[in-house]
Amino acid sequence: MADLIVIAFDNEKDAEGAYEKVQELQGDLIVQLSGLALVKVDEQGKTHVEHPGAAGNIGLGAAGGALFGTLIGILFFVPFFGLVFGGLIGALFAGIDKTGLNSEFRSQVKESVTAGKSAVVIYTVKLTEDKFAAAIAPFNGKVIKTSLSEEDEKALIHDLAEQPQA
């Protein structure tokens, strides 16, 4: 089972601090990351996404990386490279609505991360919740969390693999 956690912040400084703290927690084995991103929405509503890169020691395989990138794109309407957006949306939303990434979860994220706000997006397979929560609490974020079963994750990766490439 994997958890997708979006922590929304009213300002960029708190989001950046939490993003750095999550990377520290990965090193301390408090969280095992499969994906991590810092999402900033500027005052004009344009979304900017940062990833820790290879130095971030994030356990993304090719399929998992594509899935995480697609989830970021769907949650924040960020174009993703190499995928035909129209075909992807039709096929994936049908499958996504049957998982923890249903329209209610997506709506909560959309309402929480608006112009001028930021978020840390975490895709994790292991998390020591009490230690994680205590470490992130000083940054005053709003936590929005859902879970994906192993079957949901495999189905989404399968649906993603079925999409035509651009």
| pLDDT tens, per residue, the chain with 166 residues | 778 888 999 999 999 999 999 999 998 999 988 888 898 989 998 888 888 765 445 554 444 555 666 666 666 665 544 444 444 444 444 555 555 566 777 788 888 888 999 999 888 888 999 999 999 999 999 998 877 777 766 766 665 555 444 4
Q: Is there a contact between 142 and 59 (Cβ–Cβ < 8 Å)?
A: no
Rounded CA separation 15/26 (Å): 17
Distance CA 29, CA 67 (A): 23
Give the predicted TM-score (pTM) of the model: 0.76
- Phi then psi for 165, rounded to 5 degrees? -90, 150
